[in-house]
Amino acid sequence: MTRYLRLSIALVGLALGGAATPLNAQEPATLLRRHLDDIYGHIQQNRVGDAVTAANHLVRILEANPELATVEHAVALNALANAFGRDYAAAAPFYRAAIELLRRIPDPAAASNLALVLENYGLLLLAQHDYAAGGRVMAEALRLRNELYGGQHDSFVDFMAALRHISTLIRDLGDYATAESLLREILQAQRLILGTNHTEYGVTLNDLAVLLYQRGNFAEAESLTREALELTGRILGESHPQYGAILGNLAAIVAARAGYGEAEMLYREAVETLRRSVGAANPYYLDALSGLAITLLDQGNHAAAEPILREVADTRRHVLGADHPAYAAALTDLAILLSHKADYTEAEPLFRQAIEIWRRHPGTDRQKYASALRRFALLQLAIGILDDAEPLLREAVEVTRAIDGPDNPDHALALGSLARYYNLKGDLVSAERLAR
Residues 385 and 428 occupy one common structural domain: yes
d(CA 305, CA 121): 49
Name the nearest CA neighbour of 390 among 356, 427, 360: 427
- In the chain, the N- to C-terminal Cα span, in Å, equals 32
Q: Report how far apart, in Å, the C-alpha atoms of 95 and of each of 38, 64, 82, 119, 367 are.
A: 18, 19, 9, 10, 35
The CATH number linked to 127 is: 1.25.40.10
**Residue 120 · residue 98 · CB < 8 Å:** no
pLDDT mean over 84-88? 84
Which of 211, 236, 261 delimits the end of a domain?
Answer: 236
Instruction: Answer whether residue 362 shows pLDDT above 80.
Output: no
Q: How many domains does the chain have?
A: 3
d(CA 420, CA 428): 10
Residues 94 and 43 occupy one common structural domain: yes
Residues 114 and 213 occupy one common structural domain: no
Name the nearest CA neighbour of 214 among 253, 269, 178, 242: 253
**Residue 304 · residue 296 · CB < 8 Å:** yes
347 domain residue, yes or no: no
Instruction: Answer whether residue 2 shows pLDDT above 70.
Output: no
The pLDDT of residue 257 is 87
330 domain residue, yes or no: no
Residues 135 and 196 occupy one common structural domain: no
Name the nearest CA neighbour of 141 among 90, 188, 185: 185
Evaluate if pTM is beyond 0.75.
no
d(CA 53, CA 94): 12
User: Which residues, including other chains, have CB under 8 Å from residue 197's CB and lie 6 or more apart?
Assistant: 231, 235
Residues 58 and 138 occupy one common structural domain: yes
91 domain residue, yes or no: yes
47 domain residue, yes or no: yes
d(CA 29, CA 12): 29
129 domain residue, yes or no: yes
d(CA 335, CA 57): 63
The pLDDT of residue 150 is 60
283 domain residue, yes or no: no
Name the nearest CA neighbour of 27 among 64, 52, 54, 56: 64
Residues 70 and 141 occupy one common structural domain: yes
Other Cβ atoms less than 10 A from the Cβ of 277: the count is 18
- Biggest distance spanned by C-alpha atoms of the chain: 87
Instruction: Answer whether residue 111 shows pLDDT above 60.
Output: yes
Helices (H), 237-282: 241-256, 260-277
d(CA 111, CA 23): 26
Q: pLDDT per residue over 386-431, tens digit each?
A: 989 999 999 999 988 888 778 778 888 889 888 888 888 888 888 7
Residues 76 and 134 occupy one common structural domain: yes
Would you list the DSSP string of 158-199? HHHHHHHHHHHHHHHTT-HHHHHHHHHHHHHHHHHHT-SSSH
Q: pLDDT per residue over 177-195, tens digit each?
A: 888 988 998 898 888 778 8
**Residue 306 · residue 288 · CB < 8 Å:** no
The pLDDT of residue 20 is 44
Residues 143 and 197 occupy one common structural domain: no
Average pLDDT, the chain: 85
Q: pLDDT per residue over 340-354, tens digit each?
A: 999 999 999 999 999
Residues 126 and 217 occupy one common structural domain: no
DSSP category for residue 282: S
The parent domain of residue 90 ranges over: 27-148
The pLDDT of residue 433 is 83
Other Cβ atoms less than 10 A from the Cβ of 346: the count is 12
| Reported confidence tier of residue 149, pLDDT bands at 50, 70, 90 | low
Q: pLDDT per residue over 328-344, tens digit each?
A: 999 999 999 999 999 99
Instruction: Answer whether residue 253 shows pLDDT above 90.
Output: yes
Instruction: Answer whether residue 15 shows pLDDT above 60.
Output: no
Q: Please report the sign of the dihedral spanned by the C-alpha atoms of residue 83, residue 86, residue 88, residue 93.
A: positive
Residues 197 and 98 occupy one common structural domain: no
The pLDDT of residue 169 is 75
310 domain residue, yes or no: no
* Coil vs helix vs strand at 92: helix
| Reported confidence tier of residue 373, pLDDT bands at 50, 70, 90 | very high
**Residue 293 · residue 340 · CB < 8 Å:** no
309 domain residue, yes or no: no
The CATH number linked to 379 is: 1.25.40
d(CA 206, CA 247): 10
The pLDDT of residue 155 is 57
Residues 38 and 144 occupy one common structural domain: yes
d(CA 92, CA 123): 11
Residues 143 and 31 occupy one common structural domain: yes
The pLDDT of residue 249 is 95
Identify the weakest region by mean pLDDT among 152-161, 182-191, 282-291, 350-359.
152-161
